[in-house]
Amino acid sequence: MSTRRAPLTLSALAAAALLLSACSAGADDDASAAPPTASAPASASASAAPSPTGTPRPSAPAAAGCTGTGGLAPATAATVDTIDLDGDGVPDRLWLADDGGTRTVGVSTAAGATLTHPVDLAGPAGATAFALRPDPAEPAMVLVSDNRVADLLVVQDCELVAATDTRGEPWQFDQGFAGQGTGVGCVDLDGDGTLDLVGLNLVDDTVTRTLIRVDGTTASAGTSDQVAAGTDAARETARAITCGDRTLSADGVHEPA
């Protein structure tokens, strides 16, 4: 007989996400003990780095971003303010729309562009979209989930492009539907000082974290490690989609009913 548990707060989920990011499989693995946040734009990192002579480097010019004249979501769309997705340093808007025949995920940039991609998920709970940029120096991504699987889209050349595996098949994260994974997170798994996109798989009280490399629009699985998930919050995070202190449940957008 199952026991009903009190729902976890968003702050508890965020804390657990950071905890999973900080844990390591071995006692001598300190590289992921204090991962950086993923919210700072790349230009901020460039301006902070000193030159070899000790004088400050000039600030990198901001990217032009994706410009246009149609940067508004459809009137019936569900929208949310989100992170900078086109690299101009200004937050954008993420949205989901359904006109009765076509379901669409879209990004409306601050500079007026509209980036769209069709939604093709069949889960009864509807679709939810979440924007993330684990490494500020790399392109942004959008996950579209129906709570069973999550499609991975990449912002490339001012378009939302579906990521594929090395065989050309659409890349999907399992969220417990096929028994191959339970969630998605952002962890510095390779120890280079920046967050990585990782697939999470919770089995009992252990989470396997697998690095997902995205080269252009091709995704592939890399190295893995395992960490303990000994609390309800940690286990719930391993079943969720998070990136740093941001979560799909708090920072994503849900398909309109």
The answer to whether the beta carbons of residues 22 and 32 sit under 8 Å apart is yes
Give the pLDDT of residue 17: 52
Alpha-carbon span 151 to 119, nearest angstrom: 9
Cα R_g (the chain), whole angstroms: 18
Taking CB atoms within 8 Å and a gap of at least 24, the contacts of 248-252 are 248/128, 248/130, 248/143, 248/145, 249/10, 249/13, 250/10, 250/13, 250/14, 251/80, 251/82, 251/130, 251/131, 252/80, 252/94, 252/128, 252/129, 252/130, 252/131
Structural domain count, the chain? 1
Query: Does 31 map to a domain?
Result: no
Beta-bridge partner residues of 145: 128, 150
Query: Does 170 map to a domain?
Result: yes
Query: Does 165 map to a domain?
Result: yes
Structure tokens at 133: 């940029």
Query: Does 37 map to a domain?
Result: no
Which segments in the chain show pLDDT lower than 50?
1-15, 18-19, 22-61
Give the pLDDT of residue 63: 61
Query: Does 41 map to a domain?
Result: no
3-state secondary structure of 97: strand
Query: Does 210 map to a domain?
Result: yes
Amino acid (one-letter) located at 10? L
Amino acid (one-letter) located at 228? A
pLDDT tens-digit map of 205-244: 999 999 999 999 999 999 999 999 999 999 999 999 999 9
Boundaries of domain holding 231: 66-254
Query: Does 4 map to a domain?
Result: no
Query: Does 46 map to a domain?
Result: no
3-state secondary structure of 249: helix
Beta-bridge partner residues of 207: 202, 227
Record the pTM: 0.78
Give the pLDDT of residue 69: 81
